[in-house]
C-alpha cells in the first residue's frame, strides 16, 4: 500500500522549478501532440478502412482522392451507366457466418497435482465460463469480428468495473457494489499504437485509446467541465464539415456527433521511471486524470495494457492486419466496369442509334420523343430518311471477362459459390466431392478462426487475473451444471491459484456439425462405443444423444444423467463422512462413478475416505443383488459396514 501511494505521488510530481499547473499544462500538450502525430502517421490506413466500409455497403465508386479523403468520383459522361454489382457483401456475410461458429469452450489448468489445486482449477473454470455467459461474450466477439473482417483489425478492452455486480452496501450515501469484469469491443479507429511496425501489443511502449465522449459523461466520470464540439467519429477531428451522403445515402466517410469532446487515454508500459506504468487522460487540453496502470493482468503479476488485439489476416511487421475486402476491391471495380459496359452495349443494340441528315427533320422533337412505336416521322423532301446505325450482337469478350472475374472473386477471397450460393457446381455430384469443397472453404478461414481463438484465450486469462486482483471478499457464484442443475461456489481471490487457460474444444471450423454427427455414427458402426457384449451403457447413450443435440429425447437418458450427478455429489460427501445408498439408486451407474473416483483421485493421504467409498460400493452391490434375489438386507448391510 505504501509503495502504491509513493508511485502515485511520483506520477503527479512536477520537475524542479516547475509548478503543478505548469506540469499539467505541459503534460496535456505533450499527450495531445503525441496523439496528433500518431493520427497523421496512420492516416492512409484510416482512408483504406473508410474505403472498405464504402465498398461493403455498395458505394463502389468511392476513391481515395489526392487530398487523402474518400470521395465519390463523378461520371465521365452523363449517359454512363453506374450500377453496382456487389460481390463483396455476400463474401463478407459468408465469412462472418462461418467465423460466428468460433466460440471456444475454455477451462483453467491446475497449477499442481494437489487436491486444492485441482479444486481451485475447477472453480476458476466455472468462474471463467460463468463470466463469459454473464457478459454475453458471444455478442462481444461477434461485434469485434465484424470490425476485424471489415477493416482487418479489432480490439477488446478488458476492464474491472467497480460499479457493476451485486450491491453490497453504501458509504456516505453512495452505493457500493462488489464489482465485475467488463469487456468492450473496439474498432481500429479507437486505437493509436506508438509504432505501426510492432506486431504485438506487448511490444508497444505506449498505446492511445481515443474516443468521442459527451461532455456530461466526462463530468460524471472525471468531475471536470470541458467544452463540447461537433466531432467526426472516424477521424476524431473537431470540424463542422462532414460532407453530404451520396449514392443513396450509403456514403461512409464521416459521422458527426454533437456536444462531444475527444478523450485521449495514453497507456504507458512499465519503465524505469514508472515502475507500474502510467495512464494519462486528456480532453480539451486539460489533464483529467493521471494514474498507474490499474490492472495486474499480465504474466507473473505484471501490469500490462488492458487491450487484446484480433486480426482477420496477419501482415508481417505490421500492427494492423488486413481484410479480404481490401484484396477484392480491384476485382470489384473491374467487374462493375465490365457489367456496365455490357449493359450500355445492350442498350445501344435494343434502343439503336439514329443517324439524321442535318436540317431534314426537327431534331429537338426527335431527341425529346425518340422513335416511339406508331410515330409519324416527317422529313424534308429530297433529304435522306433517318435510319438506325447497324449494330452487331454483344461481343463474347464481355461474357468471357465477366466469368473470369467471377472466378477471380473465388480465388482471392477463398469463398466459393458453394458457400455463397448454397449450391454446388454441376460437375460435382458425389458426396466426396462436396465434402472436399467444404473442407477447402474452411481451410482458407482457419487462420482467421485461430486469431479469434487466440484473442479469446488472452481475454480469459485477463478475466481470471482481474478476479484475482479485485475479488477480495467472498462471493457466491451460480453455475449451470449438467442436466440443468445449478452448482454453487463460494470463492475469493485466495482461491484462484492458476490462470493457465486452455481450450476444451478444437477449432470449430475443423469439423462442421454434420461431420461431427457422421463421425459419431461411424464410431457406433465400428463398435468403438460398445462393451465386450456389444451393448451400449446408459451413460454412453446419454452422451451420444447429447452430442447429437437430442439430450432430452429419452426420459431414461435424463434419469441416467441425474443418477450420475447424484453419484458425483456422493463422492464429495464420502470424502468427509458416511453416506448410505438408497433403494431408488441406479446401482450400476453409481458403482461406475464411485470406481472412477477411486481411480482418478490420489487417496494415498486419505485412506479413511478411500475405505468409506469402497464400503459404499459394497453396499450398492449388496442392494443390487438383493433386488434381484429378494433376500433380506439387514445382516449383509451390517457386514459391509464392518469391513
Contact 231, 238 (CB under 8 A): yes
Q: How confident is the model at residue 129 (pLDDT cuts 50, 70, 90)?
A: confident
pLDDT number for residue 109:
83
Percent of the chain scoring above 90 in pLDDT:
31
Query: How far is C-alpha 412 from the geometric centre of its chain's CA atoms?
Result: 23
* CA–CA gap between residue 56 and residue 190 (Å, rounded): 20
pLDDT tens for 379-395 read: 777 777 776 666 667 77
pLDDT number for residue 420:
58
pLDDT at position 421 over 60 = no
Q: How far lies 110's CA from each of 249, 423, 496, in Å?
A: 55, 47, 10
pLDDT number for residue 438:
60
H helix runs in 188-323, sequence order:
215-222
From 263, 183, 264, 186, select the one nearest 217 (Cα to Cα).
263
pLDDT at position 426 over 60 = no
Length of the chain: 643
Question: Helices 555-573 and 538-547 meet at what angle, rounded to 10?
Answer: 110
What's the grid cell of residue 351? 434502343
* CA–CA gap between residue 71 and residue 226 (Å, rounded): 33
pLDDT at position 15 over 60 = yes
Residue 16, SS3? coil
* CA–CA gap between residue 32 and residue 264 (Å, rounded): 8
**Residue 602 or residue 224, greater confidence:** 224
What's the grid cell of residue 503? 481450450
Task: Give φ, ψ of 549 to 5 degrees.
Answer: 90, 15
**Residue 458 or residue 167, greater confidence:** 458
Contact 121, 110 (CB under 8 A): yes
Residue 605, SS3? coil
| Long-range Cβ contact pairs of 511-516 (< 8 A, separation 24 or more) | 512/438, 512/442, 515/435, 516/547
pLDDT at position 425 over 60 = no
Q: List the single range of 184-193, 301-310, 319-328, 489-498 with lowest mean pLDDT.
A: 489-498
Q: How confident is the model at residue 534 (pLDDT cuts 50, 70, 90)?
A: confident
DSSP conformation class of 228: -
pLDDT tens for 616-641 read: 999 998 888 887 776 555 455 555 55
* CA–CA gap between residue 320 and residue 152 (Å, rounded): 7
* CA–CA gap between residue 202 and residue 307 (Å, rounded): 9
pLDDT number for residue 247:
40
What DSSP assignment string belongs to 122-169? HHHHHHHHHHHHHTTHHHHHHHHHHHHHHHSEEEEEEEEETT-S-EEE
Residue 604, SS3? coil
CB-count exposure of residue 633 (10 Å: 0-12, 13-18, 19+): middle
H helix runs in 527-573, sequence order:
538-547, 555-573
Q: What is the mean pLDDT of the chain?
A: 80
Percent of the chain scoring above 70 in pLDDT:
78
pLDDT at position 481 over 60 = no
Q: List the single range of 22-31, 250-259, 592-601 with lowest mean pLDDT.
A: 250-259
Task: Give φ, ψ of 590 to 5 degrees.
Answer: -65, -40
What's the grid cell of residue 271? 519503465
* CA–CA gap between residue 498 and residue 465 (Å, rounded): 9
- In the beta sheet, which residues pair with residue 183? 158
Q: Which helix (H) or strand (E) holds 259?
A: strand 256-268
pLDDT tens for 227-254 read: 888 887 777 776 544 343 334 445 555 5
pLDDT number for residue 108:
85
Q: How far lies 242's CA from each of 231, 253, 254, in Å?
A: 9, 8, 6
pLDDT at position 91 over 50 = yes
* CA–CA gap between residue 528 and residue 519 (Å, rounded): 11
Contact 252, 243 (CB under 8 A): no
pLDDT at position 143 over 70 = yes
Give whichever of 464-468, 488-492, 531-535 has the largest mean pLDDT.
464-468
**Residue 237 or residue 7, greater confidence:** 237
* CA–CA gap between residue 96 and residue 355 (Å, rounded): 53
pTM of the model: 0.76
pLDDT at position 538 over 60 = yes
Residue 68, SS3? coil
Amino acid at each position: 500500500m505504501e509503495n502504491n501511494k509513493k508511485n502515485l505521488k511520483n506520477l503527479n510530481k512536477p520537475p524542479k522549478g516547475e509548478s503543478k499547473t505548469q506540469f499539467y499544462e505541459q503534460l496535456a500538450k505533450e499527450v495531445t501532440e503525441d496523439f496528433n502525430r500518431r493520427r497523421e502517421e496512420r492516416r492512409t490506413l484510416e482512408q483504406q478502412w473508410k474505403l472498405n466500409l464504402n465498398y461493403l455497403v455498395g458505394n463502389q465508386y468511392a476513391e481515395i482522392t489526392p487530398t487523402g479523403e474518400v470521395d465519390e468520383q463523378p461520371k465521365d459522361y452523363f449517359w454512363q451507366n453506374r450500377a453496382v454489382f456487389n460481390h463483396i457483401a455476400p463474401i463478407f456475410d459468408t465469412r462472418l457466418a462461418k467465423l460466428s461458429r468460433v466460440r471456444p469452450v475454455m477451462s483453467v489448468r491446475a497449477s499442481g497435482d494437489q487436491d486444492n489445486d485441482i479444486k481451485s482449477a475447477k472453480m476458476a473454470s466455472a468462474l471463467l465460463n460463468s463470466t463469459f455467459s454473464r457478459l454475453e461474450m458471444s455478442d462481444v466477439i461477434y461485434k469485434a469480428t465484424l470490425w476485424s473482417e471489415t477493416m482487418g483489425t479489432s480490439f477488446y478492452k478488458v476492464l474491472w468495473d467497480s460499479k457493476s455486480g451485486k450491491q453490497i452496501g453504501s458509504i456516505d450515501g453512495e452505493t457500493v457494489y462488489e464489482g465485475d469484469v467488463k469487456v468492450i469491443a473496439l474498432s481500429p479507429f479507437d486505437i493509436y499504437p506508438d509504432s505501426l511496425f510492432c506486431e504485438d501489443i506487448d511490444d508497444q511502449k505506449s498505446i492511445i485509446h481515443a474516443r468521442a465522449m459527451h461532455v456530461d459523461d466526462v463530468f460524471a466520470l472525471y468531475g471536470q467541465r470541458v467544452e463540447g464540439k461537433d466531432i467526426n467519429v472516424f477521424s476524431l477531428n473537431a470540424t463542422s464539415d462532414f460532407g453530404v451522403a451520396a449514392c443513396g445515402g450509403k456514403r461512409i466517410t464521416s459521422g458527426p456527433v454533437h456536444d462531444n469532446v475527444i478523450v485521449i487515454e495514453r497507456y504507458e508500459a512499465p519503465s524505469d521511471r514508472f515502475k507500474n506504468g502510467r495512464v494519462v487522460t486528456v480532453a480539451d487540453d486539460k489533464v483529467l486524470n493521471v494514474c498507474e496502470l490499474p490492472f495486474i493482468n499480465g504474466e507473473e503479476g505484471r501490469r500490462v495494457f488492458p487491450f487484446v488485439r484480433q486480426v482477420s489476416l496477419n501482415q508481417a511487421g505490421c500492427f494492423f492486419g488486413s481484410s479480404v475486402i481490401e484484396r477484392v476491391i480491384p476485382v470489384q471495380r473491374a467487374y462493375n466496369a465490365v457489367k456496365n459496359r455490357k449493359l450500355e452495349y445492350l442498350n445501344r443494340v435494343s434502343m439503336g442509334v439514329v443517324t439524321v441528315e442535318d436540317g431534314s427533320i426537327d431534331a429537338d422533337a426527335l431527341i425529346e420523343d425518340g422513335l416511339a412505336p406508331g410515330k409519324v416521322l416527317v422529313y424534308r423532301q429530297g433529304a435522306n430518311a433517318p435510319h438506325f446505325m447497324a449494330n452487331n450482337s454483344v461481343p463474347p469478350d464481355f461474357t468471357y471477362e465477366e466469368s473470369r472475374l467471377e472466378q477471380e472473386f473465388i480465388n482471392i477471397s477463398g469463398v466459393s459459390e458453394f458457400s455463397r450460393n448454397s449450391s454446388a457446381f454441376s460437375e460435382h455430384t458425389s458426396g466426396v466431392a462436396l465434402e472436399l469443397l467444404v473442407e477447402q472453404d474452411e481451410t482458407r478461414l482457419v487462420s482467421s478462426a485461430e486469431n479469434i481463438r487466440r484473442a479469446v484465450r488472452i481475454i480469459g486469462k485477463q478475466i481470471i487475473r482481474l478476479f484475482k486482483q479485485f475479488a477480495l471478499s467472498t462471493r457466491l457464484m451460480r453455475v449451470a451444471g449438467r442436466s440443468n442443475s445449478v452448482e454453487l461456489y463460494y470463492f475469493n481471490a485466495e482461491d484462484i491459484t492458476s490462470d493457465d487457460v486452455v481450450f476444451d474444444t478444437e477449432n470449430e471450423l475443423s469439423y462442421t456439425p454434420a461431420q461431427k454427427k457422421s463421425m459419431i455414427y461411424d464410431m457406433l458402426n465400428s463398435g468403438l462405443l460398445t462393451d465386450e457384449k456389444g451393448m451400449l451403457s446408459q451413460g454412453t447413450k446419454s452422451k451420444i444423444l447429447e452430442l447429437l443435440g437430442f439430450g432430452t429425447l429419452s426420459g431414461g437418458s435424463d434419469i441416467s444423467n441425474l443418477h450420475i450427478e447424484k453419484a458425483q455429489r456422493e463422492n464429495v460427501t464420502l470424502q468427509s463422512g458416511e453416506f448410505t445408498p438408497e433403494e431408488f439408486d441406479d446401482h450400476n451407474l453409481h458403482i461406475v462413478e464411485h470406481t472412477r473416483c477411486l481411480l482418478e483421485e490420489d487417496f494415498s493421504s486419505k485412506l479413511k475416505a478411500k475405505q468409506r467409498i469402497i464400503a459404499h460400493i459394497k453396499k450398492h452391490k449388496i442392494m443390487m443383488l438383493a433386488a434381484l434375489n429378494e433376500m433380506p438386507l439387514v445382516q449383509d448391510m451390517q457386514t459391509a459396514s464392518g469391513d
